[in-house]
Amino acid sequence: MARDVRVGTASWTDPEFIKAGWYPDDVKGDAEGRLRYYAERFPMVEVNATFYALPNVGTTEAWASRTPPGFRFHVKAHQVISGHPSEPGRLPPPLRELPFQPDSRGRIRKPSREMRDAVIDSLLEAVGPLGDKLGAILLQLPPYVVSGPAQRDEIARIVSRLRPARTAVEFRHRSWAEPGEREAAAEMLGEHDAAWVVVDAPRIEAKNVMPPIVEVTTPALAYLRLHGRNKETWNTGRTVAERFDHVYSDEEMEEWIDPVLDMAERAQEVAVVFNNNARDHALRNAERFGEMLSAADRGSSG
């Protein structure tokens, strides 16, 4: 396609994908083979594992070597960076000794600036071998982070600290969509060359669901994440697979064709990430959406 729209999934290692049988038998037990197989079929992937543990340089060197030129890795920021509760043991020993405020279970609830910045520096060092295959660092905020000046300031600080990597920011509390707050957040991201993550989620009014707001805040990258539309399990699912257990119909995906093509007119590259990671739903939907997008693009240019 003339427009650079890259469709993929949130993870290539999800156990659901393997259980569903998407990977052939001769590949499913082979870490190298799985990534090569995935990268033959999709031009981009979101790395979810980095949310839980910082990778080492050897791991990211292997990722780079197993994927073709031009492939993109969008890397999820570690939970200490984004402000989620985190077990200290998930950090390398030197980092877990830095100051933080624990919650009642001893988890890192409020990292000191020193700790957060050290984790940022470690992540940047770890993803260095990806080179131009690094698309963006995905900063997925916790759903309890509400919009406000102090929150915008800290996000801006994190985004600046993550440079030279570009950041894509996913807001998850509905306050970020309110009049005035949305504009202020979009302006802040634009000033820092960061991408607003557009989301597709259940159409419910819960505080932890963002409406489908299409924003392009940097000419370099636009970003869409599709979480599924399972209203019943959004706030009751005990596992990720339960929460995002939804197969997008062609009609539901069709709603995003024009917005994505519009985003592609305003940004050099568009990432479309299916995060409905139950069984092989995300993989099948990503394949189908890519086909639909190609057909629509051919139709508009022909």
User: How many domains does the chain contain in total?
Assistant: 1
Half-sphere exposure of 270 (CA within 13 A, CB side): 27
Share of the chain above pLDDT 70, in %: 97
pLDDT of residue 2: 45
- What are the DSSP E strand ranges found in the chain? 5-10, 44-47, 72-76, 100-102, 108-111, 134-140, 167-170, 195-200, 221-226, 269-274
pLDDT-derived band at 302 (thresholds 50, 70, 90) equals low
pLDDT in tens, 180-235: 999 999 999 999 999 999 999 998 888 999 999 999 999 999 999 999 898 877 77
Domain of residue 108: give its range.
5-301
pLDDT in tens, 163-186: 999 999 999 999 999 999 999 999
* Residue from 71, 83, 4, 80 nearest 40 by CA: 71
pLDDT of residue 1: 41
Mean pLDDT of 10-38: 94
pLDDT in tens, 71-127: 999 999 999 999 999 999 999 999 999 999 999 999 999 999 999 999 999 999 999
**pLDDT at residue 301 above 70?**
no
Instruction: Give the pTM.
Output: 0.95
pLDDT-derived band at 299 (thresholds 50, 70, 90) equals low
Could you tell me the CATH number of the domain that includes residue 278? 3.20.20.410
